[in-house]
Amino acid sequence: MHYYSTNNKQHKVSLGEAVLEGLAPDSGLYMPESIQRLPKLFFDSLSEKTFQQIGFEVAKNLMGNDIPEEELTRIIEYTIQFDAPLVEVENDVYSLELFHGPTLAFKDFGARFLSGLLGYFARLNKKDITILVATSGDTGSAVANAFLNVVGTRVIVLYPSGKVSEAQEKQFTTLGANITSLEVSGTFDDCQRLVKQSFLDVDLKNLLSLTSANSINIARLIPQTFYYFQACAQVKQKDKPIVISVPSGNFGNLTAGLMSKRMGLPIESFVASTNVNDVVPEFLRTQIFTPRNSKQTISNAMDVGNPSNFARLLDLYDNDFQKLSNEIMGCRFSDDATRAAMRKVFSNFSYTLDPHGAVGYLGLKEFLKDHANHTGIFLETAHPAKFIETVEAAINHKVEVPARLETFMKGEKKSIPVSSNFAELKKLLPTLIAQ
């Protein structure tokens, strides 16, 4: 399988090159040369397959024969050691719970898959790899924990100072070992810009063997398709069309869902649900994409003003706005609406939403106003305890904290303050790797 750059379809590389480069030299994002429909037999037996079996077949379809089957099996078994249950919240409204992994967030799937894949290529190439990752919250913790003590790798996490929850911060700043945290004076968009600038800097790229663990890396998107198939496998009522609402920030999760549909998964529509950082819903209304500085909200992992994966959304639809807008509805919601949703769902259905899941729930309910005959699924992307103060204040009820999160909270935070100036980062990175 070859992968092309969204900026130049003639620029094609192997899986290994796409994963190790992260970002194409022309700043494009890599996409599979072809996304084939899976055979009817696969879908006929979908509900009978294990999550691991689903993951293997889907990954194989997107990766071809670039990695030995026994190695892929090992990576899939490492990636999927926890479930993604579909929980009915109210009639025909389901939560796909993606927070049952080690860091209690959906990004555990992508981070663990990527660590297995990069570990394989590091051994194959006999070369150490430096993973540079920007986070607005959950990516940093998932990647740091997935790569902790993985031989041949070093992880550097850039995060916006004061703009992630304490639980999220503790999950990556307390680990030590091969994990380093840089606390950036700025926004997530500044962190993401610094990462992209680092990849495009020839000196750094050659010196440090840099790659990315953000959703700009195609290896992060591939495993995110798995749980869309797992969700549909769990739907009992097969005679209604399915709509999935995706709480969206950098839009990797929605892109993975659209790739799943391209592989034949019977999802009729998607809802791109955002907080006030609504550049994509705005585009779906106006056909104008206007990146801007992100605003801080209680759903902080979605505080993105210039989502990287917008390029992949356009690419999937050959820049045809009509086709894209026919399958995606965009919605935006304020913090007040998000709090109200958490309160209402807990009061009426005894179900606890985190702020991101609440945005997804709101988007789904907005869609169902005019499409009542659908089975609706929203993604619950993180455990409510990761945002305990916000959630408890909204629902006026105590949230149980999982033991593994309590363990993180007892750790000592260790981070290095940096500005959002690239020259400072360029000077710092080689000294970190040399330590």
- Main-chain dihedrals φ then ψ at residue 267, nearest 5 degrees: -110, 120
Predicted TM-score (pTM) of this structure? 0.89
Tell me what pLDDT residue 126 has: 77
Task: State pLDDT tens for residues 10-47.
Answer: 999 999 999 988 889 898 999 999 999 999 999 999 99
The CA-to-CA distance between both ends of the chain, in Å, stands at 37
Average pLDDT rounded to a whole number, residues 407-426 = 92
Tell me what pLDDT residue 45 has: 95
Task: State pLDDT tens for residues 276-307.
Answer: 999 999 999 999 999 999 999 999 889 999 99
Residue 368 binned pLDDT confidence (cut-offs 50, 70, 90): very high
- Measure the CA–CA gap between 102 and 96, rounded to whole angstroms: 17
Tell me what pLDDT residue 209 has: 81
* pLDDT exceeds 90 at position 202: no
Structure tokens at 116: 């297995």
Q: Is 107 a catalytic residue?
A: yes
Tell me what pLDDT residue 435 has: 65
3-state helix, strand, coil in the chain (%, to 5): 50, 15, 35
Mean confidence (pLDDT) of the chain: 93
> Pick the catalytic residue: 40, 107, 236, 386?
107
Task: State pLDDT tens for residues 304-328.
Answer: 999 999 999 999 999 999 999 999 9
Let me know: does 144 contact 214? Beta carbons within 8 Å: no
Tell me what pLDDT residue 245 has: 98
Topology, domain 83-102+224-400:
Rossmann fold (3.40.50)
DSSP letter (8 states) at residue 384: G
**Paired strand residues for 329:** 271
* pLDDT exceeds 90 at position 127: no
In angstroms, what CA-CA distances link 105 with 97, 142, 231, 260? 9, 7, 16, 20
Instruction: List the domain boundaries for the chain.
Output: 83-102+224-400
Residue 118 binned pLDDT confidence (cut-offs 50, 70, 90): confident
Nearest to 298 by CA among 394, 362, 183: 394
Where is 359: in which H helix or E strand? helix 355-368
Average pLDDT rounded to a whole number, residues 405-434 = 90
Tell me what pLDDT residue 20 has: 86
Report the interhelical angle of 69-79 vs 51-63 (nearest 10°). Answer: 130
